[in-house]
Amino acid sequence: MKKEIHPTYHQVVFMDTTTGFKFLSGSTKASNETVEWEDGKEYPLIRMEITSDSHPFYTGRQKFAQADGRIDRFNKKYGMDEA
| 80: in domain | no
List all residues 6 or more positions away from 7 whose beta carbon is below 8 Å from its beta carbon: 28
Total number of domains constituting the chain: 1
| 30: in domain | yes
pLDDT at 57: 67
pLDDT at 81: 62
12, 65, 66, 79, 83 from 71: Cα distances, Å: 48, 17, 13, 12, 15
pLDDT at 60: 67
pLDDT tens digits, one per residue of 16-50: 988 899 999 999 999 999 999 999 999 999 999 88
| 75: in domain | no
pLDDT at 54: 80
Residue 9's domain comprises 1-61
Main-chain phi, psi angles of 66, to 5 degrees:
-130, 105
Main-chain phi, psi angles of 65, to 5 degrees:
-70, -30
Residue 83's pLDDT band (cuts 50, 70, 90):
low
Tell me the C-alpha distance between 19 and 34, whole Å: 19
| 78: in domain | no
| 70: in domain | no
Contact 54, 21 (CB under 8 A): yes
CA atoms within 13 A on the CB side of 67: 3
Task: Output the pTM of the full model.
Answer: 0.64
pLDDT tens digits, one per residue of 45-69: 999 988 888 876 666 665 555 556 7
| 3: in domain | yes
| 33: in domain | yes
